[in-house]
Amino acid sequence: MTETPQQPQPQQTMQPPQAGAAGGMEPHRGTVVLVLGILGLVMCVILGIIAWVMGNGDLRKMDAGQMDPSGRGLTNAGRICGMISVILALVGIAFGILMMIIGLGITGIA
């Protein structure tokens, strides 16, 4: 019996997955959306609107497989904070208008 010499196999190395753009996907922006959502709650409602819009777009991209889904939780939390900031601002504006109407009615100007 003759043994055939075996060719050396190329060594395969396992590389850890890269954080962010896995498999050609866009990196997630979950941290940015969360920070904007929180700032929308405590500072300026415009930032809440931006967080809401960015969060919706990023979640759509994650569902379509275009964006890294590892930031889904952060993105969703930021989107919800943005939604809450917008809703609280609208309630505050409605309350302010109601108080003006009541105030004008009491003084008899209306």
Q: Cα 41 to the chain's mean position, in Å?
A: 14
23 CB-side CA count, 13 A: 7
Q: What is the pLDDT of residues 68-95, one digit of tens each?
A: 999 999 999 999 999 999 999 999 999 9
Which of the two residues, 82 and 101, has the higher pLDDT score? 82
Phi and psi angles of residue 52, each rounded to the nearest 5 degrees, phi first:
-65, -50
Structure tokens given for 102: 């009541």
Query: What is the pTM (predicted TM-score) of this model?
Result: 0.72
Instruction: Determine the pLDDT at residue 12.
Output: 57
* From 4-13, 19-28, 65-74, the region with the lowest mean pLDDT: 4-13
pLDDT average, residue stretch 83-108: 91
